[in-house]
Amino acid sequence: MEVQEEKVGDALVLVPVDRVDSATAKAFEAKVIAAIGQGTSKIVLDFSRLDYISSAGLRVVLVGAKMTRSPRKFVLSDMKPHIREVFDMSGFSKILVIHPDRAAALAG
C-alpha cells in the first residue's frame, strides 16, 4: 500500500492512497505507529487520495488517535463524501477531529 509522507513545519502529513482494507491495514498501521514514534507534534491523515476504508482501516485510525492521547495532535482531513459517511455512520466523526482540508488541519 502506498502512503505518502510530507513534513510540513512541525507536522507530519500521511496520505494513504486508494484503499485501506484488511489486506492493507497492517502496512498503514505500521506507518501511523512509526509516525507517532517519531515524536512529531501533529499528525494529519489527509484522505484526499483515499477511495475506500474498511473497518480494519477505521481500527488503525482509532489506534493512532488513542496512542497520541490528544485530539489536537492526531487529526483527519480532506475526506471524500463517501469516506466521511463511513466515519459519520460509525460514530468516529464524533470522537475524532476532522477538518475540511489540509490547511485547516495544519492550522487547527
pTM: 0.95
Residue 38 pLDDT exceeds 80: yes
The model's pLDDT over 53-81, given as tens digits with 9 standing for 90+, comes to 999 999 999 999 999 988 789 999 999 99
**Dihedral of the alpha carbons of 4, 2, 42, 38, in degrees to the nearest 10:** -100
CATH of the domain at 54: 3.30.750.24
Number of domains into which the chain is organized: 1
In which domain, by residue range, is 75 found?
A: 3-107
